[in-house]
């Protein structure tokens, strides 16, 4: 997580900037988290922001969330990195999504949070992949045209939130 590259187009890569371009997922070519990977252009007024936390209430909340979602683990979050993307069509509706990287106790996890999503054009994807596709996942509603429903989908019983073990499936 320490060498994350944040991309305007809703993508996080690790160690190197994305080699896949605005939207062209190449399975197995790089490690990435596709929060909502789309070829956002000037039609969307948008910004992304990020914040790193090493103490305080954000770490406490991250610890509680991960221990709840993954009951077989006991993590004490020592580092949290939050990236938030906000786009708006002129004037509305908005597109809002977020990735939260969490690390501590020798473990790493990430959350993907979804708010409202306006109509998007072109292909998009939400999920992740690793080099050689040792581990990968695509949120089904992200690629089937129902991406506006991401704020209602989940794998942890919290609408709009997806949680993953960053090391699952990696030898």
Angstrom distance (rounded) from CA 156 to CA 135: 19
N residues, the chain: 171
Quote the pLDDT of residue 170. 46
pLDDT of res. 92: 61
Spatial separation of the C-alpha atoms in residues 36 and 39, rounded to whole Å: 10
Helix, strand or coil, per DSSP, at residue 32: strand
In the numeric block, the tokens 């320490």 are attached to: 2
Q: What is the pLDDT of residues 15-55, one digit of tens each?
A: 665 555 544 555 667 888 988 887 766 555 777 889 999 99
Give the pLDDT confidence of 139-163 residue by residue, as tens digits.
988 888 788 889 999 999 999 999 9
Taking residue 106's Cβ as centre, other Cβ atoms within 10 Å add up to: 8
Q: How far is CA 118 from CA 4, 148, 163, in A?
A: 27, 7, 23
- Chain centroid to CA 74: how far? 22
Mean pLDDT of the chain: 82
Residues contacting 158, CB < 8 A, separation 6+: none
| C-alpha span between 13 and 24 (Å, rounded) | 14
Q: What are the backbone dihedrals phi and psi of residue 122, each rounded to the nearest 5 degrees, phi first? A: 85, 180
User: Per mean pLDDT, which range of 44-48, 116-120, 132-136, 139-143 is the poorest?
Assistant: 44-48
């Amino acid at each position: 997580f320490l060498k994350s590259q944040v991309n305007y187009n809703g993508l996080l890569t690790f160690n190197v900037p994305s080699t896949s371009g605005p939207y062209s997922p190449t399975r197995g070519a790089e490690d990435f988290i596709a929060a909502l990977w789309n070829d956002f252009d000037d039609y969307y007024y948008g910004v992304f922001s990020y914040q790193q936390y090493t103490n305080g209430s954000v770490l406490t909340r991250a610890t509680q969330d991960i221990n709840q979602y993954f009951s077989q683990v006991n993590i004490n979050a020592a580092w949290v990195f939050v990236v938030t993307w906000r786009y708006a069509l002129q004037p509305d509706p908005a597109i809002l999504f977020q990735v939260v990287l969490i690390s501590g106790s020798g473990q790493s996890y990430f959350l993907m949070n979804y708010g409202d999503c306006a109509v998007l054009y072109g292909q998009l994807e939400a999920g992740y992949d690793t080099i050689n596709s040792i581990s990968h996942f695509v949120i089904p509603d992200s690629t089937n045209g129902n991406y506006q429903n991401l704020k209602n989908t989940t794998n942890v019983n919290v609408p709009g939130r997806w949680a993953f073990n960053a090391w699952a499936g990696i030898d």
